[in-house]
Amino acid sequence: MDLGLHGRVALVTGASSGIGTATARLLAEEGADVVVAFGHNEAGARQTATLIEAVGRRAWLCGFDVADAAAVAAAIRAVGEQTGGFDVLVICAGHNIVTPFADVTPDEWDTVISVNLSGAFYTLRAAMPFLRDGAAVVTVASVAAATGAPHHAHYAAAKAGLVNLTKSAARALAPRIRVNCVAPGIALTPMGRETVANLPPDYACDKLALQRYAEPEEIARCIVFLASPAASFVTGATLNVNGGRDMR
């Protein structure tokens, strides 16, 4: 199935590993050129760029701290002017700290909210002048946004905020731009594996209907679909991709 992404330009944050890398690679395989946005893992971003170039597409590296509004604005302005604009924006940068509810420190709270929620807002706001007519935005939240998470309440709160930020943006940017959200369960990414290692046994994958965690590509395929013209009548939606952990 041709998703209609050939020749498009995509900006993917959090593209130095995990779901971000998988999404950038799949976008390139569908014919898109990709801006690989990263925070601190430049080596991982370069590996992602190599995957993009291996399928004959162009890759740009763009490093910035998503929690720094000024840095986000400057970096996205520079790459937006360089590329001429974006047809796809995937907001995948994320950070989690597994801490029991009563032990979350103010610094942990601020860090997790800043990266997962404020960073998403800063990124979308900075990219808006460069989003072409018909562009699509996809944010990446979490099943925790719907279920809550006593061992990472700050992360659950940030992702719940991101779901509603997505809905607000979908209304604000319509009809010119679509904005949707993918809410994954745990995926076998570096962050996902670290999370699993620190969670109690009741989070084991046998509690999921499919009795396993996701591969990054399984989440990325859903992101790429929502980013494509194949989802042209979908906006303001949250697609749950959690293996049956939450079925509401």
> What's the one-letter identity of residue 214?
A
E strand or H helix that includes residue 181: strand 178-184
Our separate counts of H helices and E strands in the chain read 9, 7
Token duo for residue 23: 């999404």
B/e letters for 203-237, b = 16+ CB within 10 Å, e = fewer, are: bebeebeeeebbebebbbebbbbbbbeebeeebee
- The answer to whether 51 and 28 are in contact (CB under 8 A) is yes
Non-local CB neighbours of 82 within 8 Å, separated by 6+ positions: 60
- Strand 178-184 and strand 238-241: the pairing is parallel
122 in catalytic set? no
Edge-to-edge strands, sheet with 59-63: 59-63, 33-38, 9-12, 86-91, 131-140, 178-184, 238-241
**Catalytic pick among 122, 155, 203, 213:** 155
* Dist. CA 165–CA 183, nearest whole Å: 13
Residue labelled with tokens 């996809």: 138
Residue 71: burial class (beta carbons within 10 Å; 0-12, 13-18, 19+): middle
What residues are labeled active site?
155
